[in-house]
Amino acid sequence: MNNTYKSALVLLTIAAIGGSSCTKTPEVGILNTGNYTDTEAPLKDATNDFPIGTAVNYTPLTAEPKFAEITKRDFDIVTFGYEMKHGAVVKDNGTFDFTRPDAMVAALGNVSIFGHTLVWHQNQNATYLKNFSGITVPAAVENLGNPGFENGLTGWSTFNTGNPAGTTTVTSTAATGEVRTGTSAMKINNPIGYPGSQWRVQIASILVPTVPGKQYMFSYWARAASAGGIIRLSTQDENNGNAQYQGNQTIGTTYAQISWTITANSNQTRFLFDAGESANTFYIDDASFKEVIVPPGGPAIVAKLDIAMADFINTLVGRYKNKVKAWDVVNEPFADNPVAIRDNGNTTTTGSDVLVWSNYLGRDFALKAFNLAKAADPTADLYINEYNLETNGAKLDSLIKYVAELKGKGAKIDGIGTQMHIGRTNMSYAGIDNMFRKLAATGLKIRVSELDVKVMQSSSATALTPELAGYQAQMYEYVVKSYIKYIPAAQRAGITIWGINDKNSWLYNSGKEFPLLYDNDYNKKKAYGGVLKALKGQ
């Protein structure tokens, strides 16, 4: 007798002695695993009260005939696990690619589709969203072709060389101590100072296209052979006019960076080193000529994110409105601990697929989403979807209050989805019942949106044993029975199992977990019998 079997016997004994209900713990009352041998009927035929759904993804649906066959045979409705999400269809430039969801819609034929999901903080093309909105400030482009003088003085022009001309020499240098970085720098040897006539020694950058009114910064690193050297910067346009002048800059004997920002007044601008003020030898390296990129303020980011949200919802819902009659509009709006609307402080923001809408748009981000979805398809049922409602009472209560708040502001919210990614351990039947009772009290449609049951938790087994399969079947059975018991018939929007077979599950983990109704070879498991038994009311 293995330890799992012994544990179940102990629990049964305790329940019998104490007179407590066996529904208080999932691991009680499953020793008769033969209860789950009825697996023949398609799930969708076992009840006419509500749809039974599943989740599908592009590769198994289009490449594994058995996967598609079971999907159409056993289920009323399907949800695309990924292919309708922002990250799946929006490209880095903001355009849409519907190749895969279109192919899946075609492959499913007349099977109904539940849309998933319009606004979520994950599985987005966050690179596009952040660039478009200004959350990510693009790096300024270097306008100089030879900023570090690695190619000598290519791209630089000597305008004046002292009085008489040629008194000052301008060359490149590769001498140790004269170069800051790389292998070369510019060297200006000016033996005569011309106080007040800095222009007597001038070296110019190339002309750079500039936009009048925009800011540009020229920076460089410089040192002098002896203390007290002076350089200033000035500008010219393509006609050698519209000059602007920097004040004199004292150049020390160790390399230091000097920067000057201007507002362009011409369509083309060059910067000039004016080095004629003092007699000295100057070494210049690592110059730069870039536009000053000003990050947008909060209101500008909000405006752009509003546009991006509207574009996605209008495009996606509009494209599939004749096929998709219900949508998860807002997915997972709450963080867990402490329970609160998500922001960048309570949600992990690393990853190219993450943008927390509510961090920028506030708690009314969901109101915007529901209003947009209603406008895009007034006939569709619109849902808010969340996880851990069966284990986190504070989250459950907060979600219900938030839904009431949004509806009070005019949001069309037809239903609530509870995901129920659960396990056979650390799961209270009472928590499941309490969740369904409270959700039913909202009067809205209620759906189990993403059900799967992890079974290998804290088990030393390396494969799905008969006992573990029984535990899993019992949990599936209980969820379905509790749903039917506590959700009134008029509010039952359906139960969706989050996948077909174990190896295609997001929880499979290379064979370490077996959460679904079919095994890797598409054989029905006891879990299938558990769902079927509950649907039949047995």
Active-site annotation holder among 277, 386, 450, 477 = 450
Characterise 482 by phi-psi region: left (phi > 0), alpha (psi -120 to 50), beta (else).
alpha
Instruction: Specify whether the CB–CB gap between 273 and 203 falls below 8 A.
Output: yes
What span, in angstroms and rounded, lies between the C-alpha atoms of 82 and 64? 18
Question: Can you spell out the DSSP letters for 14-49?
Answer: HHHHHT--GGGSTTSS-S-GGGG----S-GGGS-SS
DSSP string computed for 325-392: EEEEEEE--EETTTTEE--TTTS---STT---HHHHH-TTHHHHHHHHHHHH-TTSEEEEEES-TTT-
- Kindly calculate the radius of gyration of the chain based on its CA atoms and give it in whole angstroms: 34
Strands 324-331 and 112-119: parallel
Catalytic residue among 83, 178, 277, 332: 332
| Cβ-based neighbours of 326, under 8 Å, separated by 6 or more | 114, 115, 380, 381, 382, 383, 414, 415, 493
- Order of strands, sheet of 169-173, starting from the edge strand that comes earlier in the sequence: 169-173, 185-190, 280-291, 215-224, 256-263
Check if 450 is active-site. yes
Verify cis geometry, omega within 30 degrees of 0, for the bond prior to 338.
Answer: yes
Q: Does 332 participate in catalysis according to the annotation? A: yes
Count the Cβ atoms, other than its own, within 10 Å of residue 408: 8
Beta bridge partner(s), residue 281: 189
In sign, the C-alpha dihedral spanning 93, 97, 100, 104 is: positive
Are β-strands 201-204 and 268-274 bridged in parallel, bridged antiparallel, or unpaired?
A: antiparallel
| Backbone φ, ψ for residue 63 (5° rounding) | -115, -15
Q: Are 345 and 400 in contact (CB under 8 A)?
A: no
For 433-499, give the DSSP string: HHHHHHHHTT-SEEEEEEEEEE--TT---SS--HHHHHHHHHHHHHHHHHHHHHS-GGGEEEEEES-
Q: Using the structure block, give the residue that is written with the tokens 């947008």.
A: 296
Residues with Cβ < 8 Å from 93, sequence gap 6 or more? Answer: 128
Whose tokens are 């749809």? That residue is 51
For the CA atoms of 510, 514, 515, 518, the dihedral, rounded to the nearest 10 degrees, stands at 110
What is the rounded distance in angstroms from the CA atom of residue 237 to the CA atom of residue 507? 63
Query: In sequence order, which ranges of 382-426 are alpha helices (DSSP H)?
Result: 393-408
User: Catalytic site residues?
Assistant: 332, 450
